[in-house]
């Protein structure tokens, strides 16, 4: 959840650290801090609040800080202890001048704290990270690498760490278990970060550490070891997007930029993966031949939040077109409920970051049970991508706003291609496959037509600013859209919102409908529309204002609802994408008009790397 950045080399460290923190702030922004090496000591500065608060503490006259060539930094999403300056990272360990930053959770921190307190260590914070800093200090005997390795062997839980000690100038020790660490390798030094967005400005060569890797870094020199197996070799990979992709590009917010990037991001997802002549999808990363596809008994899709909502679309499409049993599991429940999984099942793990802790745990459980496991991720070199060894990259580009937009639409696009591929290995004809390919290829153009309505959607948003609750309803393929629409609204506007299958209204939720509780109804033309319009009438009878997402030219639906946003005519399985984009814009404009912090909503972080 938190963001780590560190640097050692010949360049001034401070600008690299602050720039890196700003790029990682979407991972957590409760507090921030830095530690830099000077001639006399390690200087730590930290503060509650966002990175700009920390920047204000760094005086221009502090020459020793400005000249430092080695340092670590952190932006926090609070777990143990509230967001205070005392709980901000870095934390200092004992009397040896050690400084440490950490992402993850040390599960046995209480027992370690008791042991260290008995040994005379004084704790200044409520965090589990300070326990780790003192533990490393207690084991330090002149070699920081040895001390960190010894400490991590006593630790239970997850971690991504970077630490330094004054007695070993220019040296960083970093390690990971469950929380990502990437090394940006350059000629003049090495940048360490929680993800590539903090290093792409400086280098495209990245080494992704595996779980239980520990690396000693001195400038450009790397010594990578495993806690279990001694020295190991990790090969660099090239980051396939530019630094400009992580900038706002003139937009007011990252979220708006990413909404408008979706025609291109979806094209990138589809590029080279659709065969119009054979009516099939080319997903070589799945590493499954047609016979293996035909022998699949079931597809299990696991994910959290937005990824799980995308998975529901995949469930419907795989069953509709391929005739394969498909189920969606909340990733956090998958491991703990001892699911029935066997070798004829394919488990598809969906995670934008490829590091989501619950989804990664589900991957490992499915692997242990002998299932085929594939990843659907956006981040090359991520843990889920490496551990599954098969899957599909989204190629959606970096997503900086905490609220996911283009990752969802790219996930849906891939799941539609998977449904096509599975279907063509069974009973779908070539002609039907060619039609499906045509429908998928049309998705970017459908999105562009929705984006052309941005100003009109902003006007609609003005009518829904003062509500404190809202319902989203839909049927079939539109049910996941209702869930995703409600999630976006609550994430960024802080309006309580719930997504329901439209048929569920009469089974309880309708009791909450009244004048100030609007309903956003997915009324797209297709099977089930008449039933949804009946539900709209029921809502209006309870004085709820209804905003309909309707198909262009559908005069019946337009006349039924109170307000409407149109989407182009298309099959329901592809209408998912433009309908979702319409709701993204609606949520964005409501949040903008309310003055909310859109890219960094309260209490949230982009990548959930702790359970």
Residue 606 is a catalytic residue: yes
CA distances from 228 to 107, 148, 161, 211, 233 (A): 20, 14, 18, 10, 14
Residue 380: the pLDDT is: 79
In whole angstroms, how large is the CA radius of gyration of the chain? 25
Structure token pair of residue 545: 């204002």
384 Cβ contact partners less than 8 Å away, ≥ 6 residues apart: 349, 351, 354, 355, 356, 359, 360, 363, 375, 377, 391
> Which is nearest to 210 in space by CA: 333, 385, 363?
385
Indicate the angle between helix axes 443-451 and 406-424, nearest 10 degrees.
Answer: 150
pLDDT at 275: 96
Find how far residue 458's CA is from the centre of its chain: 27
- Phi, psi angle pair for 44, to nearest 5°: -110, 130
The pLDDT score that the predictor gives to residue 415 is: 98
- Look up 570 and say whether it is catalytic: no
Which residue stretches of the chain have pLDDT < 70?
1, 59-63, 241-246, 605-611
pLDDT at residue 319 in the model: 97
Q: Which residues are 393's β-sheet partners?
A: 377
Whole-number Cα distances in Å, 609 to 198, 320, 331, 354, 446:
17, 34, 13, 10, 34
Answer positive or negative: Cα dihedral of 350, 351, 354, 358.
Answer: negative
Place of tokens 């949230």: 604
The full set of domains in the chain, from first to last, is 3-239 (3.60.20.10), 247-441 (3.40.50.10490), 450-611 (3.40.50.10490)
Whole-angstrom Cα distance, residue 222 to residue 189?
10
Q: How many residues does the chain have?
A: 611
> pLDDT tens digits, residue range 234-258?
888 887 766 666 677 789 999 999 9
Q: DSSP secondary-structure letter at 320?
A: I
Which is the catalytic residue, given 46, 48, 406, 606?
606
Q: What is the pLDDT of residue 183?
A: 94
β-pairing verdict for 298-303 and 345-351: parallel
Look at residue 607 in the predicted model and tell me its pLDDT.
56
Consecutive H or E run containing 21: helix 13-24
| 414-437 pLDDT, tens digit each | 999 999 999 999 999 999 999 999
- Catalytic residue, from 2, 70, 163, 523: name it: 2
How high is the pLDDT of residue 113? Answer: 94
SS3 state of residue 252 = coil
> Could you give the CA distance from residue 20 to residue 33 in angstroms, rounded to a whole number?
12
pLDDT of residue 609: 52
Type and span of the H or E element at 549: strand 546-551
Cα–Cα distances in angstroms (integers) from residue 347 to residues 30, 289, 304, 419, 465, in the given order: 35, 16, 14, 14, 41
């Amino acid at each position: 959840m938190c963001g780590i950045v560190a640097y050692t080399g010949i360049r001034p460290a401070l600008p690299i650290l602050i720039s890196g923190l700003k790029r990682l702030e979407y991972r957590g922004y409760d507090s921030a801090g830095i530690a830099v090496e000077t001639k006399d000591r390690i200087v730590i500065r930290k503060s509650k609040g966002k990175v700009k608060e920390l920047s204000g503490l760094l005086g221009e006259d502090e020459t020793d800080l400005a000249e430092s060539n080695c340092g670590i930094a952190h932006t926090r999403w609070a777990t143990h202890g509230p967001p205070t300056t005392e709980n901000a990272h870095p934390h200092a360990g004992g009397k040896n001048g050690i400084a440490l930053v950490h992402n993850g959770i040390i599960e046995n921190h209480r027992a370690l704290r008791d042991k260290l307190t008995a040994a005379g260590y004084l704790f200044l914070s409520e965090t589990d990270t300070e326990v780790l800093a003192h533990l490393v200090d207690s084991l330090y005997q002149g070699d920081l690498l040895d001390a960190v390795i010894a400490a991590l062997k006593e630790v239970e839980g997850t971690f991504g760490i970077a630490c330094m000690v004054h007695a070993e100038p220019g040296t960083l020790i970093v390690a990971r278990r469950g929380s990502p660490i990437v090394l940006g390798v350059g000629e003049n030094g090495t940048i360490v970060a929680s993800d590539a967005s903090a290093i792409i400005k400086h280098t495209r060569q990245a080494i992704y550490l595996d779980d239980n890797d520990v690396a000693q870094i001195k400038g450009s020199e790397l010594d990578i070891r495993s806690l279990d197996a001694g020295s190991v070799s990790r090969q660099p990979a090239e980051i396939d997007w530019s630094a400009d992709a992580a900038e706002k590009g003139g937009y007011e917010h990252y979220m708006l930029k990413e909404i408008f990037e979706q025609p291109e991001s979806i094209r990138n997802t589809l590029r080279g993966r659709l065969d119009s002549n054979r009516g099939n999808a080319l997903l070589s990363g799945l590493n499954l031949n047609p016979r293996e596809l035909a022998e699949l008994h079931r597809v299990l899709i696991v994910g959290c939040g937005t990824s799980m909502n995308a998975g529901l679309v995949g469930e419907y499409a795989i069953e509709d077109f391929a005739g394969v049993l498909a189920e969606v599991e909340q990733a956090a429940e998958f491991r703990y409920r001892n699911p029935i999984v066997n070798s004829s099942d394919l488990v598809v793990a969906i995670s934008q970051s490829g590091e989501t802790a619950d989804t990664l745990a589900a991957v490992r459980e499915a692997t242990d049970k002998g299932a085929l496991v594939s990843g659907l991720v956006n981040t090359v070199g991520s843990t889920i991508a490496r551990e599954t060894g098969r899957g599909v990259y989204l190629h959606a580009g970096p997503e900086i706003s905490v609220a996911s937009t283009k990752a969802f639409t790219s996930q849906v696009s891939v799941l539609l291609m998977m449904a096509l591929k599975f279907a063509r290995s069974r009973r779908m004809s070539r002609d039907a496959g060619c039609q499906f390919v045509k429908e998928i290829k049309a998705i970017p153009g459908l999105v562009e037509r929705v984006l052309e309505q941005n100003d009109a959607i902003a006007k609609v948003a003005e009518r829904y600013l003062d509500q404190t609750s809202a319902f989203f309803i839909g049927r079939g393929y539109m049910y996941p859209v209702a869930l995703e629409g409600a999630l976006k609204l609550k994430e960024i506007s802080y309006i309580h919102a719930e997504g329901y299958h439209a048929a569920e209204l009469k089974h309880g939720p309708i009791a909450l409908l009244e004048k100030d509780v609007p309903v956003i109804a997915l009324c797209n033309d297709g099977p089930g529309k008449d039933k949804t319009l009946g539900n709209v009438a029921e809502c209006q009878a309870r004085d709820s204002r209804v905003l309909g997402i309707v198909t262009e030219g559908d005069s019946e639906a337009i006349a039924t609802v109170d307000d409407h946003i149109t989407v182009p005519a298309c099959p329901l399985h592809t209408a998912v994408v433009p309908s979702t984009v319409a709701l993204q814009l609606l949520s964005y404009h409501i949040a903008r008009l309310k003055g909310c912090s859109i890219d960094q909503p309260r209490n949230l972080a982009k990548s959930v790397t702790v359970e």
